[in-house]
């Protein structure tokens, strides 16, 4: 069962782009190495030569000092573990370099229990360490009879935990993993597994482990399924099925298990999604289930949108668009598609608790435009409000003015910008990752510089897009060519 503790810690790595060999084309994003940096983390705002300069050379202050201490502790542990496995005098320095390049490094390593996994983790993060360390320890060998053990133990578990079926194949796989680890450790002999598929649930090698996961007895990881069995899965099975299919698609084949590769396995993924764990926000699974591009993996893990009541904003968005067009005649010929924009804003408003779900669901095709909710939507777009700078984006158009940017320019600019929106750009930029919202903002927001949009429309790659809006801040590495599904590209060599 300890395996799941390692997987939980390492899921943080999935949110950062990494080296995937050739890194281009249709390959999914690698989930192993972070090259992210940020303000106050020793990349450009330490004691280097100025903001945006001296990448990785500043010493940082405040938060940076705490991260340095965490890296020192993590790498000290690695060096102790690697004493008999790795050669060379620069292990600690190479480890610290890798830690400084990945803000998840220390926290992930701190969550890994065994020295073998510690070494395997650092080897994956540092080519210099990999060059002087032996290959990763071989994985635990599979005992064929453990398949029968997992199936039977899973059945016994389900008899005492009614929601077990919501985990799909996950529960049985957890018990099989336990069996394999015990056989590898010599605690269970293969001969003891003969006929285990027909054993009673009080069998001495089945009952204790089922008891262990069902009730907290004070030992680490005991009672792991206690809350699940009492309350059920945190999300319906279809959410976990969809999110796990997305992770399998977007995590490259061959990614080490303790580096996120285990989430390619349906059983492991379904288990963790179903039981819920505090280290992974519940909202992340819904975000992953709805994601269509691998570039969404990072934002879904790092900063998933809130999940409010399950509300269908489609009918409201359609009716609000009809009413808005009736009140603002020039909108009909503008080329703006307001339905997806209003749908997105509606879902966000419900999720944030700003509008009750029942108010939205009460609106249908025949609802009068004078309805309070519809009137609020019409006013938001068509009337300026000195207390809300986001209101009145269509006021000029509705008054008969030619206030919208050229549609062709915005189409070209957003085609280039959308795949380049990554978490490192900050929360304000994330709205441009939605194609409909990007086009809406491009055409209506006069604060976006025309020269930047024209530049983006002609940009050949993501670094060129970032340069179009460069305000002196550090920009992230290229997450992929504009027009690809948004997978992170290979980071530049050190």
Task: Spell out the per-residue pLDDT of the chain, length 494, in tens.
Answer: 333 333 333 333 343 333 333 333 333 333 333 323 333 333 333 333 444 344 434 444 444 566 788 899 999 989 988 887 788 888 999 999 988 888 778 888 877 767 777 888 888 888 888 888 865 444 556 788 898 999 999 999 999 998 888 887 777 888 888 888 888 777 888 888 999 999 999 999 999 989 988 888 887 777 888 888 888 887 888 888 899 999 988 887 777 776 677 888 888 888 888 888 777 888 899 899 988 888 788 788 877 877 666 678 999 999 999 999 999 999 999 999 999 999 988 988 887 778 888 899 999 999 999 999 999 999 999 998 888 888 889 999 999 888 899 999 999 999 999 988 876 676 678 788 888 899 999 999 888 999 999 999 999 998 899 899 876 454 455 554 443 444 444 444 44
Cβ neighbours of residue 329 closer than 8 Å, sequence gap 6 or more: 398
Instruction: Please tell me the number of Cα atoms within 13 Å of 255 on its side-chain side.
Output: 30
Tally of CB atoms within 10 A around 377: 25
User: What CA dihedral angle connects 447, 451, 454 and 460, to 10 degrees?
Assistant: -110
Q: How far is residue 229's CA from residue 233's CA, in Å, rounded to a whole number?
A: 8
The reply to whether the predicted model has a pTM over 0.75 is: no
Q: Which two tokens stand for residue 261?
A: 């590769």
Contacts 24+ apart (CB under 8 A), 388-397: 393/440, 393/444, 393/445, 394/324, 394/328, 394/331, 394/444, 397/328, 397/330, 397/331, 397/334
């Amino acid at each position: 069962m300890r395996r799941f503790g390692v997987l939980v810690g390492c899921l943080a790595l999935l949110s950062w782009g990494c080296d995937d060999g050739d890194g281009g084309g249709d390959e999914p994003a690698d989930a192993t190495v972070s090259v992210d940096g940020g303000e106050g983390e020793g990349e450009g705002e330490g004691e280097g030569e100025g903001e945006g300069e001296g990448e990785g050379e500043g010493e940082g202050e405040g938060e940076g000092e705490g991260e340095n201490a965490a890296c020192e502790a993590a790498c000290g542990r690695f060096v102790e573990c690697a004493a008999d496995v790795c050669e060379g005098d620069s292990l600690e320095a190479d480890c610290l370099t890798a830690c400084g390049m990945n803000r998840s490094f220390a926290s992930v390593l701190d969550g890994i229990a065994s020295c073998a996994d510690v070494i395997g983790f650092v080897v994956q993060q540092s080519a210099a360490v990999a060059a002087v360390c032996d290959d990763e320890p071989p994985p635990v060998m599979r005992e064929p009879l453990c398949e029968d053990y997992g199936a039977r133990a899973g059945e016994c578990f389900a008899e005492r935990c009614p929601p077990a079926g919501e985990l799909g194949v996950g529960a049985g796989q957890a018990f099989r993993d336990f069996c394999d680890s015990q056989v590898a450790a010599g605690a269970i002999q293969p001969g003891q597994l003969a006929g285990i598929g027909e054993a009673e649930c009080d069998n001495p090698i089945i009952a204790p482990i089922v008891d262990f996961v069902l009730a907290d007895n004070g030992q680490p990881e005991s009672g792991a399924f206690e809350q699940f069995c009492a309350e059920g899965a945190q999300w319906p099975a279809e959410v976990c099925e969809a999110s796990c299919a997305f992770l399998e698609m977007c995590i490259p084949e061959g990614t080490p298990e303790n580096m996120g590769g285990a989430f390619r396995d349906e059983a492991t993924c379904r288990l963790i999604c179903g039981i819920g764990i505090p280290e992974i926000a519940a909202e992340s699974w819904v975000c992953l289930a709805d994601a269509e591009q691998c570039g969404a993996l990072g934002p879904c893990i790092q900063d998933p949108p809130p999940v409010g009541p399950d509300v269908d904003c489609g009918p409201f968005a359609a009716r609000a668009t009809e009413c808005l067009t009736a009140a603002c005649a020039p909108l009909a010929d503008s080329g703006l598609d307001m339905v997806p924009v209003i749908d997105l804003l509606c879902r966000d408003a419900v999720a944030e608790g700003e509008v009750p779900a029942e108010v939205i669901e009460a609106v249908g095709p025949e609802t009068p435009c004078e309805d309070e909710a519809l009137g609020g939507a019409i006013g938001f777009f068509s009337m300026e409000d000195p207390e809300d700078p986001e209101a009145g984006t269509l006021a000029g158009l509705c008054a008969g003015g030619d206030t919208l940017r050229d549609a062709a320019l915005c189409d070209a600019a957003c085609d280039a910008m959308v795949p380049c929106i990554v978490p490192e750009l900050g929360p304000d930029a994330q709205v441009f990752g939605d194609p409909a919202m990007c086009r809406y903002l491009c055409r209506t927001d006069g604060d976006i510089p025309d020269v930047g949009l024209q530049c983006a429309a002609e940009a050949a790659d993501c670094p060129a897009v970032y340069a179009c809006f460069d305000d002196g801040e550090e920009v992230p590495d290229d997450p992929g060519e504009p027009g690809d599904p948004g997978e992170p590209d290979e980071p530049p060599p050190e």
